[in-house]
Amino acid sequence: MVKKTLLALVVLAGFAATPQTAMAGCATDLINCYGRAAAIDSFWYRSAAGLDCELDFTDCARRKLIGR
Amino acid sequence: MHRAGLLVLAVVLGACRVSSRQAPASASLTPMFGPVIGAEVIGGRADANDEIVLLAGGVDLVRINLAARRSVRVRLRTVAGQQGGRDDCWNLAGFADGSLWTLKGRQTLARISTDGAVVSETPLGEPYFGLFAAGDRLLFQRADFLPPGPALLAGGADRRPAAAWSTIATRTFPALARAAVAALNMVTCGSTETVERACWFPDEPAVFLVTDDGSTRRVLLPGLDAVPPETLLTSDNPRRPVRDAYVDAAGTLWILSSGMPPPGAAEQPGGWLLASYASDGASRGIARLPEAARLILRADTRNVTLVTASGGVGQVPRW
């Protein structure tokens, strides 16, 4: 439990370090997704879920940053 | 007297010549037809014979025929799409033989036909952010969370990503989180009528001009403002130095840039500035558009043809 909480804090802090990275819903979705990933028991599944969260974020950001 | 007359004539002709090359402060935009597209994101563009094909909203192809002044929209018939779900696609890569490719989801390369049928699917085994065409090769953008590294990979004979293409490298941003860095390192490549195509990062007023064999040179675009990454990432409709780039047959580089909307204009996706550069980056002028534009469809000897923010197709006289 402590580990999971720490992981959640680390990933959230990492993202919070981005100055107001709140690209509308993209960042909010990411933080929520990180929260769900942090609740996964298995380290490997938790890590994979975290990576999926980041990929979802980039899908979202891609539409805004390079979509035309 | 005769000599003075010739001098006046020369000055007048010279002035005409110069003025024909100067960008108007405000360009006139003549509507041609449309709308051809709605408010959905244009996720890809490819040139296929006489048509320009756009990927609209990740699920539709819009085929635009400029000569005939018409467009046709078809739904991409992916498996999920036919079962009532949706398979979002991103980017289009078209070749001279008429073949058309897209990224389905993050990890599948799909060959599609212009009528929306999925011809074949190839699992890539790892995620990719983008897909383009250069010469007879597919280009893949790696989903790179650990920069620096090559931004683009060229496909091999089996069309799968094989080797680094160009010297465009992903950048590090020590103050930003991994996902934000990955987003800022996403590259877009524009259309070209020469051997060089323009590719760019979303925050830089610069493009990389890359030949089919990957030779790369970076060209700065004077007159366009850089956007701090933090600003770019915090906006829902970020202002981008380069929204689209097109290299015409003469090697002139046309850039659509966000610029600033006029006072009172509704916030909408699109660029308000159309800029022109020589292939060495020398500015040939920046004109303000009367309506925001989303894409440069073509630039010929007389006009630059655009998709406007309202989805119509219109022309701006070139300068």
**Could A18 and B180 be called an inter-chain contact, meaning their C-beta atoms sit closer than 8 Å?**
yes
Please check the confidence at residue B56 and state whether its pLDDT lies above 70: yes
- Residue B157's pLDDT is what? 85
pLDDT digits 0-9 by tens, B81-108 = 666 666 799 999 999 888 999 999 999 9
Residue A27 CB contacts under 8 Å (≥ 6 apart), including other chains: A15, A18, A21, A57
pLDDT at residue B264 in the model:
85
3 state SS of B262: coil
Q: According to the model, what pLDDT value does residue B20 have?
A: 41
Distance from CA of B183 to the nearest CA of A (A): 5
- Contact flag A65-B243 (C-beta cutoff 8 Å): no
By Cβ distance, the residue of A21, A66, A68 closest to B180 is: A21
pLDDT at residue B218, as a whole number: 97
Largest CA distance in chain A: 44
CB distance B140 to B152 below 8 Å: yes
ipTM for the complex?
Answer: 0.80
Decide if A13 touches B, using CB distance below 8 A: no
CB contact under 8 A, A62 and B129: yes
Query: Do B134 and B154 contact (CB within 8 A), yes or no?
Result: yes
User: Distance from A2 to chain B by nearest Cα, in Å?
Assistant: 23
Question: Measured between beta carbons, which residues in chain B are less than 8 angstroms from residue A14?
Answer: 177-178
Q: Which of A11-15, B223-227, B275-279 has the highest mean pLDDT?
A: B275-279
Cis link prior to B35 (omega < 30° from 0)? yes
DSSP one-letter code for B176:
S
Q: What is the mean pLDDT of residues B111-140?
A: 94
- Residue ranges of the domains in chain A? 2-9+21-65
pLDDT of residue B234: 82
**CA–CA separation, A56 and A36 (whole Å):** 13
pLDDT tens by residue, B161-183: 999 999 999 999 999 999 999 99
- What band does B17 get if pLDDT is binned at 50, 70 and 90? very low
CA distances from B263 to B58, B239, B242, B266, B267 (A): 32, 15, 21, 9, 10
Q: How far apart are CA B180 and CA A17, in angstroms?
A: 11
> Is pLDDT at B21 greater than 90 in this prediction?
no
Query: How far is B10 from chain A, CA to nearest CA, in Å?
Result: 45
Task: Report the range out of B23-37, B57-71, B82-96 with the highest average pLDDT.
Answer: B57-71
Q: How much of chain A exceeds pLDDT 70, in percent?
A: 65
pTM attached to this predicted model: 0.86
- Rounded mean pLDDT of chain B? 90
Tokens found for residue A14: 């990492």
Q: Measured between alpha carbons, how far is A56 from A58 in angstroms, rounded to an integer? A: 5
Element (H, E) at A10: helix A2-16
Residue B187's nearest CA partner among B170, B201, B176, B206 is: B201
Average pLDDT, rounded, for chain A? 76
CB atoms within 10 A of CB B182: 25
- Does the beta-carbon distance from B183 to A68 stay under 8 Å? no
Contacts of A5 (CB under 8 A, 6+ apart): A38
Q: For the segment B207-256, what is each residue's pLDDT rounded down to a tens digit?
A: 999 999 999 999 999 999 888 988 888 888 889 999 999 999 999 999 99
Q: What would the two tokens of residue B21 be? A: 């090359």
The pLDDT of residue B123: 94
Nearest CB to A63 within list B41, B176, B230? B41
In angstroms, the separation between the Cα of residue A67 and the nearest Cα of chain B is: 5
Partner B contacted by A21 (CB < 8 A)? yes
Q: How much is the pLDDT for B220?
A: 97
- Output the pLDDT for position B8: 46
Spatial CA neighbour of B194 closest among B245, B149, B243, B160? B245
Which residues of A fall within a CB distance of 8 Å from B180?
15, 18, 21, 61
Which residue stretches of chain B are H helix? 2-21, 79-82, 178-184, 229-234
Residue B84: per-residue pLDDT: 66
Q: Give φ, ψ of A55 to 5 degrees.
A: -65, -40
CB contact under 8 A, B106 and A59: yes
What confidence score (pLDDT) does residue B208 get? 98
Q: What is the pLDDT of residue B15?
A: 40
Q: Where residue A23 falls among pLDDT bands split at 50, 70, 90?
A: low
A54–B186 C-beta distance less than 8 A: no
Class of domain B28-317: mainly beta
Residue B7, pLDDT score: 44
Distance from CA of B8 to the nearest CA of A (A): 48
pLDDT for the residue numbered A18? 44
